[in-house]
């Protein structure tokens, strides 16, 4: 006759098969199993349905998705953004800020105190380009940008921008992330965090650059402490074939139905893994990236194929990498992508310490027609009213010539150094006052002196146009509420239509 102890052992073996997972109970598992799971019911109200695996949907849209469209704090004029980044620092006195006094003092010392920049500079250096008035507003634009000049009545030129330092790396981070030194979320990440995106089959924030990365690479579109799903997705627009633009966009080995089954299994395993790790943000970002990659297979193939555009539209934009990527950008915006950043090229192409005339002429020739085509194309489609277009670099350039410096330049004495004291940017569409010039630099273009606009002020104004009070779009991290403008920034109301 079996003893009571033997009977208990046999019952345990036959009715309760060993489960390896039982040996690794977490506190959440303990709550789930205690009191018939009543503890977890309370936890569900705290952490929300997404963490526990529920996927509510409205009209086919997962409203619990971190990229689901969200309302702004108040009605904004702009719904989407395209940031055309002239990386390297275009010269404002050769593009959108004419300075006749440079011709008067050409080859002579400026009659003013020289401001410290990154490298040694010498005499006044007149612009090799001619300026002309355009549009009803009569705003002067150099002959580098005649096509953009035709659109000047839709543009607000800020001639009084300024930044903090004359170096590329911190100035790029300041312009993109609002912070020159420490890791902070990029502007595109903040915008998609605040608004979500209208197309769940494409990333909400896309950064495109032909031929490689700008300096600082992915830090320019980082999400930092925001959830990883808000980080920009980099696309190399040097390529035309979709398989090279986006690697592995097509699966040649299994059907979409089979992929869906695989992803469903992978998601279930990942969610089990996530529940054991107390809402790990990196793991959740990885799960979301798998799902997005699957959904992109159809929409991305269509969005990046500019050959589907009518011949007249392709002719409007012109040829070359800039034309192609700006047309791609319009197609992405049209399909619901929230924020598209368009870089001119790898490294810092506008950084002309030598041969400024040749360098700037080449770069403007590559982009002028396409930028103007974008503005005209958006306008004729009725999209310019609610699309904010931004153009500019991380800083401007000196009105004085850069002197020969071994190891830093070629010594040709025909270029300009970096200048963060004063430079130009422009905005168009999305609630911006067109045909308007804001602020001014001094008579030589060295420093912003009238209505100066810091980068933080620009960011505050951009968020205002999108429907956000920049002081209230925040994210709690490390014990404090962070924002794009840190503790600075004022909205430039004169720029608003």
pLDDT of res. 37: 42
Q: Are 301 and 332 in contact (CB under 8 A)?
A: no
As a whole number of angstroms, the distance between CA 426 and CA 83 comes to 10
Q: What pLDDT, in 10s, does the model give residues 316-337?
A: 999 999 999 999 999 999 999 9
The mean-pLDDT minimum among 14-28, 180-194, 230-244, 290-304 falls in 14-28
pLDDT of res. 262: 72
As a whole number of angstroms, the distance between CA 374 and CA 483 comes to 31
Is a pLDDT exceeding 90 seen at residue 129? yes
pLDDT of res. 90: 98
Is a pLDDT exceeding 80 seen at residue 273? no
Helices (H), 381-490: 455-465
- Bridge partner residues of 230 (DSSP): none
Compute CA distances 185 → 78, 232, 235, 282, 317, whole Å: 21, 10, 19, 15, 32
Is a pLDDT exceeding 50 seen at residue 297? yes
Q: Are 367 and 322 in contact (CB under 8 A)?
A: yes
pLDDT of res. 271: 72
Report residue 4's pLDDT band, with 50, 70 and 90 as the boundaries: very low
Report residue 278's pLDDT band, with 50, 70 and 90 as the boundaries: low
Is a pLDDT exceeding 90 seen at residue 442? yes
pLDDT of res. 27: 53
Average pLDDT over residues 236-243: 86
Average pLDDT over residues 107-121: 94
> pTM for this structure?
0.83
The pLDDT > 70 percentage for the chain reads 79
Residue carrying structure tokens 């100066």: 452
Report residue 274's pLDDT band, with 50, 70 and 90 as the boundaries: low
The pLDDT > 90 percentage for the chain reads 70
Spatial CA neighbour of 71 closest among 195, 241, 217:
195
366 Cβ partners below 8 Å, 6+ apart?
A: 320, 321, 322, 344
């Amino acid at each position: 006759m079996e003893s009571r102890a033997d009977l208990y052992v046999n019952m345990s073996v036959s009715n309760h098969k060993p489960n390896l997972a039982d040996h690794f109970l977490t506190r959440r598992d303990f709550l789930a199993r205690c009191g018939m799971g009543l503890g977890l019911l309370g936890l569900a109200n705290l952490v929300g349905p997404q963490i526990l695996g529920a996927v509510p949907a409205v009209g086919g849209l997962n409203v619990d998705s971190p990229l689901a469209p969200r309302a702004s704090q108040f009605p904004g004029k702009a719904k989407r953004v395209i940031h055309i980044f002239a990386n390297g620092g275009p010269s404002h006195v050769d593009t959108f800020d004419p300075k006749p006094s440079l011709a008067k003092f050409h080859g002579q010392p400026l009659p003013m105190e020289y401001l410290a920049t990154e490298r040694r500079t010498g005499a006044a250096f007149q612009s090799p380009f001619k300026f002309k008035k355009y549009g009803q507003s009569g705003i002067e634009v150099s002959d580098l940008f005649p096509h953009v000049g035709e659109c000047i009545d839709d543009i607000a030129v800020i001639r009084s921008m300024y930044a903090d330092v004359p170096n590329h790396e911190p100035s790029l981070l300041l312009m993109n992330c609002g912070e020159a030194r420490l890791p902070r979320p990029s502007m595109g990440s903040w915008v998609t965090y605040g608004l979500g995106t209208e197309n769940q089959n494409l990333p909400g924030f896309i950064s495109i650059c032909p031929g490689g990365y700008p300096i600082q690479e992915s830090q320019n579109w980082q999400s930092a402490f925001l959830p990883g799903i808000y980080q920009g997705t980099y696309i190399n627009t040097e390529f035309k074939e979709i398989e090279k633009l986006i690697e592995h966009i097509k699966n040649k080995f299994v059907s979409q139905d089979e992929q869906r089954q695989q992803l469903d299994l992978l998601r279930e395993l990942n969610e089990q893994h996530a529940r054991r790790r107390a809402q790990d943000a990196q793991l959740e970002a990885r799960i979301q990236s798998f799902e997005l990659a699957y959904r992109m297979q159809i929409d991305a193939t269509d969005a990046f194929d500019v050959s589907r555009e009518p011949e007249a539209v392709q002719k409007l934009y012109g040829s070359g990498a800039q034309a192609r990527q700006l047309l791609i950008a319009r197609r992405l915006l049209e399909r619901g992508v929230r924020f598209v950043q368009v870089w001119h090229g790898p490294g810092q192409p506008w950084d002309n310490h030598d041969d400024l005339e040749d360098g700037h002429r080449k770069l403007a020739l590559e982009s002028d027609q396409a930028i103007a085509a974008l503005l005209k194309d958006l306008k004729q489609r009725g999209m310019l009213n609610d699309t904010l277009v931004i153009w500019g670099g991380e800083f401007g350039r000196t009105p004085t010539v850069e002197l020969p410096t071994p190891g830093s330049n070629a010594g040709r004495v025909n270029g300009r150094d970096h200048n963060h004291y004063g430079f130009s940017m422009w905005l168009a569409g999305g609630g911006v006052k067109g045909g308007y010039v804001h602020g001014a630099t001094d008579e030589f273009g060295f420093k912003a002196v009238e209505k100066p606009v810091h980068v933080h002020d620009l960011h505050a104004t951009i968020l205002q146009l999108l429907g956000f009070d920049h002081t209230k779009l925040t994210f709690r991290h490390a014990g404090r509420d962070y924002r794009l403008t840190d503790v600075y920034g004022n909205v430039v109301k004169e720029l608003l239509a």
